[in-house]
Amino acid sequence: MAEEKEEKGKYTTVSIPTPLAEKIKKRIEGTGFNSISSYVTYVLRELLASMEEEEKEEVFSKEDEEKIKERLRALGYLD
């Protein structure tokens, strides 16, 4: 019981329109998704990940970057 409580604590409720829930219910029949929640979680994770930014340039100072390039040249990774 205690474990169940702890498990529940990691989730929250989000409301979606009933017709949408019905559509999802039909959509997930025969798939690996065992609930509307697991499907919605999957889709949201996918969506948020696709919106993640690419790495910003200029992570290093010019000086640091030049030192790194020197090491890469010394090791034969760069000409």
Partner 1 sequence: MPAPHGGKLIYRVNRNKDIDDMDSIEISKELAHDIENIAFGVFSPLEGFLCREDFEHVLHHMRLQNDLPWTIPIVFDLEGNEFKEGDEVLLKAENGMLATFAIEEIYDYNKKEYAEKVFKTTDIQHPGVKKVMDMKNKLAGGKIELVKEGRENFEKYYLKPYETRILFKEKGWREIVAFQTRNVPHLGHEYVQKTALTFVDGIFINPIIGKKKKGDFKDEVILKAYDALIQHYYLKDRAVLAILRTEMRYAGPREAIFHAIVRKNFGCTHFIVGRDHAGVGNYYGPYEAQEIFREFPDLGITPIFFKSFFYCKKCGGVVNEKICPHDKEHHIYYSGTAIRKMIQNGEIPPETMMRKEVAEIVMSYENPFVE
Q: How many CB atoms lie within 10 A of CB 41?
A: 14
**In the complex, minimum distance from the CB of residue 18 to partner 1, in angstroms, rounded to a whole number:** 25
**In the complex, minimum distance from the CB of residue 27 to partner 1, in angstroms, rounded to a whole number:** 16
**In the complex, minimum distance from the CB of residue 73 to partner 1, in angstroms, rounded to a whole number:** 10
- Chain residues in the site for partner 1 (CB under 8 A): 10, 32, 42-43, 45-46, 48-49, 52-56, 59-60, 65, 68-69, 71-72, 75-78
Helix 36-50 / helix 18-27 crossing angle, nearest 10 deg: 90
